[in-house]
């Protein structure tokens, strides 16, 4: 996720625009060449002139605007919901780690330390699970005693949560914690399951295909017919005008595509790596209390 300061307008608006802008260069070049070709034909061919009534693009633009508003709101809702879930992950792991450390203080240090390690291992495994990675980059975060079993499991965050649950019940069966403390710890563990499920819902449920398909079709029609509406009236001035309108409309769609899956590696995605490292640092600090 990019960090930025938008108070200095001049430096801010001319900074690098990230992936969604990079993906537009070839499209904008095509639109510029198309507009240039239409202007040349319009000015050098007596029998062929291009002029579409502005009413066409006005009406189509209204419909397209409504679709883009829906697209933007839907994508940002997913991004913000993902951020709230990651914030809940940070808080829940802290709460669980603090309670494990406090309740099991000195009674079974090896088991409590293993449980603390599993808590931040869950955050790392959830990150890779949401990104559909191969998990090899986080093997060092998994306790060595569980690594071989961890590699075999398909749903690896569930495996880590299962180990946390077993450790909590072992602490209870040994008498290290009482029944009331077990209920409190299980409540925090259940919160981790709910966070995982909410993030999976965001990841696996994009906006309905009908909306996405219809928006792209209307946007394509609008973009390809746009030069015809400017060429006859503006001449060569139509080139920058077409590119500005094209950049505005298509840019909104590309931003929506980038942020609707907020757990990836795009520049505008959520800072999942940083949050996982923060969780690990917090828990390691708690373990030294």
The string of pLDDT tens digits covering residues 17-38 is 555 566 677 888 888 888 888 8
Number of domains, the chain? 1
Q: Note the pLDDT of residue 26.
A: 80
The answer to the question of residue 56 being in a domain is no
- Percent of the residues in the chain that have a pLDDT greater than 90, as a whole number: 40
Angle at CA of residue 239, ends 233 and 245, nearest 5°: 90
pLDDT in tens, 61-78: 888 989 899 889 999 999
Q: Model's pTM, two decimal places?
A: 0.84
Cβ atoms of 145 and 111 within 8 Å: the answer is no
pLDDT in tens, 134-174: 898 899 999 888 899 999 999 999 999 999 999 999 999 98
Calculated CA dihedral for residues 207, 29, 52, 45, nearest 10 degrees: -160
The answer to the question of residue 120 being in a domain is yes
CA–CA distance from 122 to each of 165, 241, 287 (Å)?
12, 51, 16
The answer to the question of residue 227 being in a domain is no
The tokens describing 210, both together, are: 């009908």
Domain residue limits at 103: 84-205+272-286
The answer to the question of residue 103 being in a domain is yes
Residue 89 phi/psi, 5-degree rounding, is: -65, -45
Q: Find, among 265, 101, 90, the residue nearest to 195 by Cα.
A: 90
pLDDT band at 79 (very low <50, low <70, confident <90, very high): very high
The answer to the question of residue 236 being in a domain is no
The answer to the question of residue 155 being in a domain is yes
Angle at CA of residue 273, ends 253 and 283, nearest 5°: 145
Buried b (16+ CB within 10 A) or exposed e, 167-199: bbeebbeeebbeeebbeebbebbebbeebbebb
């Amino acid at each position: 996720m990019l960090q930025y300061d938008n108070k200095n307008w001049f430096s801010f608006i001319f900074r690098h625009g990230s992936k969604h802008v990079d993906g537009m260069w070839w499209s904008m070049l095509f639109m510029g060449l198309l507009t240039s070709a239409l202007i040349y034909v319009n000015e050098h061919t007596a029998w062929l002139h291009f002029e579409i009534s502005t009413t066409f693009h006005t009406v189509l633009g209204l419909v397209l605007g409504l679709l883009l508003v829906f697209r933007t709101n839907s994508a940002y809702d997913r991004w913000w919901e993902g951020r709230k879930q990651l914030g809940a992950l940070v808080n829940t792991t802290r709460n669980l780690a603090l309670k494990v450390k406090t309740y099991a203080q000195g009674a079974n240090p090896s088991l409590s330390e293993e449980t603390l390690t599993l808590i931040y291992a869950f955050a790392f495994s959830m990150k890779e699970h949401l990104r559909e990675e191969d998990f090899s980059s986080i093997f060092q975060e998994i306790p060595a005693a569980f690594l071989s079993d961890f590699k075999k499991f398909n749903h690896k965050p569930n495996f880590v949560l299962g180990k946390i649950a077993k450790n909590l019940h072992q602490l209870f069966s040994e008498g290290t914690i009482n029944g009331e403390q077990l209920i409190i710890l299980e409540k925090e563990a259940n919160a981790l399951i709910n966070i995982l499920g909410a993030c999976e819902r965001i990841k696996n449920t994009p906006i309905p295909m009908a909306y996405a398909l219809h928006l792209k079709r209307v946007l394509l029609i609008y973009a390809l017919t746009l030069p015809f509406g400017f060429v006859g009236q503006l001449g060569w001035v139509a080139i920058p005008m077409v590119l500005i309108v094209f950049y505005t409309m298509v840019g909104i769609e590309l931003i929506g595509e980038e942020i609707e899956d907020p757990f990836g590696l795009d520049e505008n995605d959520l800072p999942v790596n940083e949050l996982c490292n923060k969780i690990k640092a917090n828990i390691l600090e708690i373990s030294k209390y």
